[in-house]
Amino acid sequence: MTSLFFLTFLFSSLLTRNVDANPNYIEALSKSLLFFQGQRSGPLPPDQQLSWRASSGLSDGSSANVDLTGGYYDAGDNIKFNFPMAFTTTMLSWSTLEYSAQMGPELQNARVNIRWATDYLLKCATATPGKLYVGVGDPNADHKCWERPEDMDAPRTVYSVSSSSPGSDVAAETAAALAASSMIFREVDSEYSRLLLETAKNVMQFAIQYRGNYSDSLSSSVCPFYCSYSGYKDELMWGAAWLLKATNDKNYENFIKSLGSGDQPDIFNWDSKYAGAYVLLSQRALVNNDTNFEQYKQEAESFICKILPNSPSSSTHYTPGGLMYKLPQSNLQHVTAITLLLTTYAKYMKATQHTFYCGNFDIVVPDTLISLSKKQVDYILGDNPKTMSYMVGFGSNFPLRIHHRASSLPSQGLLSKPFNCTEGFQFYHTENPNPNILTGAIVGGPDQNDEYPDLRNDYIHSEPTTYINAAFVGPLAYFASGGSA
């Protein structure tokens, strides 16, 4: 049974649908994972499929006499920001944990992508006692350049947090990533899994013991790019929730309780984690019937009621074509992250035949959430007023001029010499399509009116990020396996 307030929304959005109402979710899942190869930093392996990329950042960490090679560039630039990279890792791990049975042959590709990140995060957490490295590359210098990562000559400055310059937010997110990923490898590489979990515990203790926002410690090195606008309390809850899931250690439950009540959000992204923590913790109330976590179930449902269209407490705008619209910059990051929460909470609800109400309005059943999730997934894959797939390389109509240095510049094999910092801007300003297809990349997405100009300099709409894709893997796996409303 689907609630009446959702059916009203669904009927209106049907008017804008194109004839292709059943995207190939299996293909989209495969391409969403392939995208991460285009973001790789460090020495590339022989089985690298996106052959227009080559090894890069091979001296990362050398200025601090440590090895910080590897990891991912966060978006269309050549910087390794650990705060969003760790969130990417947590979300990719959560997607894989919840939907591994639906991923088929893509499960191994997901593990490879996760390990590419965790190998790097382990280096950051263990290279120097008392320090957590949290990024490589001067973002202010990098953003003045337009060059491939293979050719970058901007400073590869190393950033870290410590007891005297704390960063509870980035540390707790790193702990969350390591704890979540430890469960991915538990059955296939137990030694690596134990290393991830033990490191997660140590990093979480560091986050708890030395409190502070990393953006206060690092200022313009991370702001305005990835400022910790929401503070660090949400990451402390989020990190402890993942460690609780990975260990069942009662101490983490007690710590979560000691944090008190959190915000009542209507958003979920790399900076604001409360909604994710509530949904994750609600599993214990719903599936495990643990009444100690009832408050988090209620918070999760309060969040969902703010998302559902026409709910009395909804604070979420929808475009005329039916896309959730939260913020102008990179809106699809919010759509994919929230969609993962909706499909996952619906999964928990189905396990116990649970339903709930948004105020005194209609009953919310699992299919209410699945229907909305499917609408968002289908919209991104081309079922929208512009009949445009916002996943590069998927379908016949997709963004051609994405804001991405490596994609927009000729690949190494075509150059007699690399372009320097500023010479590459000739490719930034051209109206020609990008020469290299960053298969699977999901861009920031359309505006509030479903419009998308496909301009390289329109970065708030045309730039892909790792965290947009990471959250999308779970819903894609669900629908690829035949999930339906």
Is 187 an active-site residue? Answer: no
Catalytic-role residue among 299, 354, 367, 403: 403
Is 463 an active-site residue? Answer: yes
Catalytic-role residue among 98, 235, 271, 463: 463
445: part of which helix (H) or strand (E)? Answer: none
Is 403 an active-site residue? Answer: yes
Structural contact between residues 345 and 478, judged by C-beta atoms closer than 8 angstroms: no
Catalytic-role residue among 20, 216, 290, 454: 454
**How far is residue 116 from each of residues 36, 215, 278, 354, measured CA to CA in Å?**
9, 25, 28, 38
**How far is residue 191 from each of residues 67, 132, 188, 197, 233, measured CA to CA in Å?**
22, 22, 9, 10, 31
The tally of CA atoms less than 13 A away on the side-chain side of residue 442 is: 28
Catalytic-role residue among 77, 98, 150, 367: 77
364: part of which helix (H) or strand (E)? Answer: strand 363-364
Measured torsion, CA atoms of residues 392, 325, 379, 53, in degrees rounded to the nearest 10: 10
Q: From start to end of 127-250, where are the E strands? A: 131-136, 158-162
**How far is residue 465 from each of residues 23, 51, 209, 263, 317, measured CA to CA in Å?**
22, 20, 31, 26, 23
Which three-class secondary structure state does DSSP give residue 40? strand
- Exposure string of 298-320, with b = 16+ CB inside 10 Å and e = fewer, is ebbbbbbbbbbbbbebbebebbe
Neighbours of 477 (CB within 10 A): 29
CA dist., res. 431 & res. 444, Å (int): 19
Query: Catalytic residue numbers?
Result: 77, 403, 454, 463
